[in-house]
Each structure stands twice: as C-alpha cells, then as structure tokens.
Structure 1
C-alpha cells in the first residue's frame, strides 16, 4: 500500500452556531483543522497509508487531536509533543453577506519549530525515507520561518535522492508572510525540490498578479516538475507534464454550501489516485469528485460515513 506523510500544522477551530443561546451569547463548536491535515484525513479515507508530521503540546486539546487522527487511521508516530505548549487556535466568524472571516492565535504554536535545526530536519528525514511521497504546503513554509526553510529544503533534496516524491500546494495566505517578496522567494525555492505541484489560480493571482495558464507554465518552466496541476474552481483542471497538457472538466455541483477545504480535498483525491497507480486524468477526476462532495457540506472535514456514501454513489 502506498505510504504518504504530510507535514504541517493542526489548529483548534472554533466555529459559531447559526443561533445564539437564550441569553444572546454566541455558541461555538470546537473542532480541529489545517490545510495539510485536512488533506491527510481524506487521503487516509481513500486508502493511503498516511502519517502526519507536526509538533503539538501535552495539553488536553493536543491529546484530542492525536485521538482524532488515530480515529481517522492517520499515523501519529512522527508527531512530537512538547511539554507546556498548546496548538494554535482560530475562530471563524460569519459576515452579514454570508462570507467567513478567520481570526488566528498561532504565534506560539509548537508546529512553528518543526525544522528548528538541521539536526532535527535530518532526524525527520531519516524517518521519511520509507515513504513513497511527502506532502506540504505554503502554509508549512510560512509558519516555520526563513532559517528553518533552508533546513527543510536540504531534507527534501535528500529525500528526492532516495526516490521519495515531493508534492506541494502553494496555498498562499498573505497574513502569514512578512511581505509578498518573501513568499515569492520561498515558493520558487521549494519548486526546486518539488515533483508534483498542486496550485490554485486564485493563489497565483494573489501572489504574482497573473492567473493565466500560460503565465504559470512560463513561471515554472525551468523547474523539473513531473506534474503541474492547476486548480481553477468550476473551470477545467489542467495537468501539465514535460510531454503533454491535459484538461479535465469539472461537472457542475448543485447545492454548494461551503467551499472551505475544497482544494485540500482535491489534493487528497489526486495524490491518492497517483500513488495508487491511476492515470493523470482519473486522478484529477477523483480529486474533482472529492471536492464536489465537500462543498455541499459545512466545514473542511465532514463525517466519514457521509463522505464514503457519497463517494460510492
């Protein structure tokens, strides 16, 4: 069975109920989420042997996160728990026009220290050489900081020399970066160590001011990507390899409720397909189908029984 490890951060999520209590007080539902964590959940549900790589505390919420992962068949053996620490937190607020705002408390989160030294990075690298693929995102890059990114790049270089596939989603979030120039440099740097790039054109527009397919092809032409996947919402997904360019239609979805996590779930479907031997097109179709299920439900991670039922329908 194919084995993948995702690297990133899991946060405590507080989301408001639609109505307040009898005293007018806002009621919040507690859950856990994070971009690469969301992808890990669905990769595990799709049959990949999945490990998660992060750092947590030894508090009750970190314990709940570990239990939640175990319940999703996600391996926790590569997670380090630091005494006296606790995971980051974010709160979702619904605006009057139906959009959602996110407010974060994550500056002291232990995941930020994932690659705090070359020694720590090398120790993790030794554990990851047994995987078929490692997956990370631009959020992973942003939270660990500039010096740690260099340690990470060195590890990715060593992993690729051991035939481990590196998959990356830029997932650009401006507030996590010092400025746009820092983000641009980091995104281009990691492309040197990436095999499968899973990019969203909305992020490309935010980061580069150019969301055209031709612009993306030109921007990444000098990098040795085996697969450049461009996610374009309701428009065709595009897969670019050194020898071909493929377009995969996105069927219309009725009853869209919440697009949170759609890109993360596409990534899960696509990577699961590729690592299980499916073609480029069939993998993209699986990713599109998975994303189409998620957006008809609230939240990035939906009940497993619902997901399995709709996937098999």
Structure 2
C-alpha cells in the first residue's frame, strides 16, 4: 500500500464567519436561542446582517477550522469544499491556503454566493450563537471528490453540517467508499444536535456499517445520538458502535473510549473565555494530530484541550498563537 502523503483531508462547508458582539436581549428579539446554531435563508441572512453591530470577517467552517489548527500543529492537510466566484469565495480560498492547507476545489459560478455564518458573541461569557447561510457550500458535487486525493491522506474527516444538502451528502458517501477502498480511516464530527435530529438514522447506519473509525461528539450530541438523557448510557451506546469515540464536555474536559478502554482529561485552564467559536473544531484538530503522530489517546485529548483553550481566548475560530509551541511546552 502506498504511504500517505497527507495526514488529514477534510470535506466541509467553505464559510466566512462574520462575528459581532450581542446581548441576550438582541438574541431574543431576533428569535435566537443562545449557544445554538440555525440555518438561514438568503433573506434572513440579509436582515440579520443589517441588524448586527460592527463585526469582523474571519474565514471559518467547522472542518476548515480543524485543518487550520492541524496545520498549525505540523500536520499536512487538504480541504474539499465549495465556494462561489465572488469576493468571499476569494477570501476563503486565500485564508485556507495561507494556513498551509491545500485547497484545490474549483469555485463555481452559482446562483447563490459563498456561504457565511453570522455569529453573535456574548461579551460576558464568550458564548457564540451561530446563524448560517449555506449558499454555495451546499453545491459541492460528487465529481469534485478525487479518489487519488482521498487515498493520499491517513484520515478522511467529514463535517456533519454538510450532511444536510443532497449533493454534498453524496460527495461524502463517495469519499467514504474511496477512503475505505484505500485502507484509510474515516472520522466524523456530528457538528450539532440538529444535524443528529435530522439525520440520526443515516449516522447510525454509517456506524453500524463500520464506515466511521473515529466519532467526535460533544455531550449534548452524544445524548441526542443515543436518544437518552443519561450521559453514561449515551457514551456506552456510541462506544459500542465505533472503534474510537471522542466526547467533549466543555469545562468538564473530554473522554475517549477505544476497545473498551476509557481515558479522560480536564479542560485546560484559561484566564478568560473571549469567544467559544471553534472550540470543538480545534479540539478535533489537536486530537487528530496526536492520533496520526501515534500518541496515546490521553495525550491526544490533552493536545485537543490545549488547542481548544487557545482558540477560545480570542475572537474567531482559527488559532493565533503557535499551537505547536504550546503543545511542546506542555507535553514535550
């Protein structure tokens, strides 16, 4: 078997984030649930953008954020996602490549613009409330998936958010088959509770078929996947269906279960939480890089916690500090 030239290749939404501060009164006024994520129509996105305060534009997208973090930790990565032939498409393409991540998906001339996520951040606790307009991201074609490129990576990472639209769903199914045929691992981030509510049967079918090797889910997501309110019951349910389960618990740290062996770590201490956007994405980055480096699950969890702590210490979902140096200082 040919030795992989990449560590991680990911398929996800190509999104530019627009972040602005907002209090709970603003969220309530516009029908938002604090800390949640919802999808917007084009008209809703325009209306909310007009009502938001002054913001910052920073490229995002869950899987793309994970790759930016992984690249900062020294991993070789590539991203597959759809942008339109517009200004935000150029911004996203420039930003992802500037992190050292390969991005070869061609922009398309589409009736909808490049995706954007309008993120309201609470100044008091840093909690982010996300409002996403998928735009061009939902038009990723199955033909955009190349077997040789998928086979070139040790791990294929799939973003659960992208399971909603039909074309990207078929693209990811095709990529799974390619990865499995090449003997590569597949990781799935379920992304959000609403993704599970919409596609629980699909996700469980992937697990039952052995198509997923690593499953990332936070506490709320693993409860939704298992259909229970008991955390330990939910963890047992998920761990029985996937070789490696990774579950984050916010300030309570994270756990990993593989082959019946469970390890856990505490959250990394931080002076102040500024913006929780990207915390789960960067956790996945640290864990996956530790995994491809052959580290133990406990050390990989620590790497995830270190990366997550860095990203919530500032605005935006991409790391600003040198993650590789932070990990080296704490883990060696």
Gaps of 5+ in 1: 19-23
1:13 aligns with 2:17: yes
Deviation at 1:150, TM superposition (A): 4.9
CA distance in structure 2 between the aligned counterparts of 1:276 and 1:312, rounded to whole angstroms: 13
SS at match of 1:213: helix
CA distance in structure 2 between the aligned counterparts of 1:263 and 1:17, rounded to whole angstroms: 20
Q: Against the structure 1 CA distance between its residues 302 and 251, is the aligned structure 2 distance closer, same or farther, given a 3 Å change threshold?
A: closer
Select the residue among 21, 26, 31 that pairs with 2:53: 26
Per-residue CA deviation, residues 228-248 of structure 1 (Å, 9 max, x unaligned), is: 112112224221112422223
1:75 aligns with 2:102: yes
SS at match of 1:187: helix
The structure showing larger relative contact order (alpha-carbon pairs under 8 Å, at least 6 residues apart) is 2
- Counterpart of 2:150? 128
SS at match of 1:298: coil
Tell me if structure 2 keeps the 8 A contact 1:139–1:173.
no
Deviation at 1:105, TM superposition (A): 2.4
Deviation at 1:97, TM superposition (A): 6.7
CA distance in structure 2 between the aligned counterparts of 1:206 and 1:218, rounded to whole angstroms: 11
- Counterpart of 1:205? 223
Tell me if structure 1 keeps the 8 A contact 2:11–2:172.
no
Residues paired across the two proteins, number: 292
CA distance in structure 2 between the aligned counterparts of 1:268 and 1:53, rounded to whole angstroms: 16
Q: Against the structure 1 CA distance between its residues 151 and 308, is the aligned structure 2 distance closer, same or farther, given a 3 Å change threshold?
A: closer
Task: Output the TM-score relative to the length of structure 1.
Answer: 0.82
CA distance in structure 1 between the aligned counterparts of 2:328 and 2:113, rounded to whole angstroms: 38
- Counterpart of 1:162? 182
Q: CA RMSD in A?
A: 2.8
- Counterpart of 1:217? 236
- Counterpart of 2:277? 260
Correspondence 1:103-252 to 2 at 5 A:
103-106=131-134, 109-115=135-141, 117=142, 120=143, 123-142=145-164, 144-145=165-166, 149-150=169-170, 152-174=172-194, 180=197, 182-191=198-207, 192=209, 193-206=211-224, 208-221=227-240, 223=241, 225-252=242-269
Deviation at 1:151, TM superposition (A): 5.5
Tell me if structure 2 keeps the 8 A contact 1:205–1:211.
yes
Tell me if structure 2 keeps the 8 A contact 1:153–1:190.
no
CA distance in structure 1 between the aligned counterparts of 2:200 and 2:184, rounded to whole angstroms: 25
SS at match of 2:251: coil
Deviation at 1:96, TM superposition (A): 8.4
Deviation at 1:94, TM superposition (A): 4.5
CA distance in structure 2 between the aligned counterparts of 1:184 and 1:25, rounded to whole angstroms: 33
Gaps of 5+ in 2: 23-50
SS at match of 1:80: coil
CA distance in structure 2 between the aligned counterparts of 1:132 and 1:2, rounded to whole angstroms: 6
Tell me if structure 2 keeps the 8 A contact 1:2–1:276.
no
1:4 aligns with 2:5: no
1:59 aligns with 2:86: yes
Deviation at 1:250, TM superposition (A): 3.0
Per-residue CA deviation, residues 182-222 of structure 1 (Å, 9 max, x unaligned), is: 3211221232311111111122235534351332222452x
Tell me if structure 2 keeps the 8 A contact 1:35–1:264.
yes
Tell me if structure 1 keeps the 8 A contact 2:239–2:257.
no
Deviation at 1:2, TM superposition (A): 4.7
CA distance in structure 2 between the aligned counterparts of 1:69 and 1:217, rounded to whole angstroms: 37
CA distance in structure 1 between the aligned counterparts of 2:83 and 2:243, rounded to whole angstroms: 33
Tell me if structure 2 keeps the 8 A contact 1:262–1:292.
yes
Runs of 4+ in structure 1 over 4 Å off: 94-99, 307-313
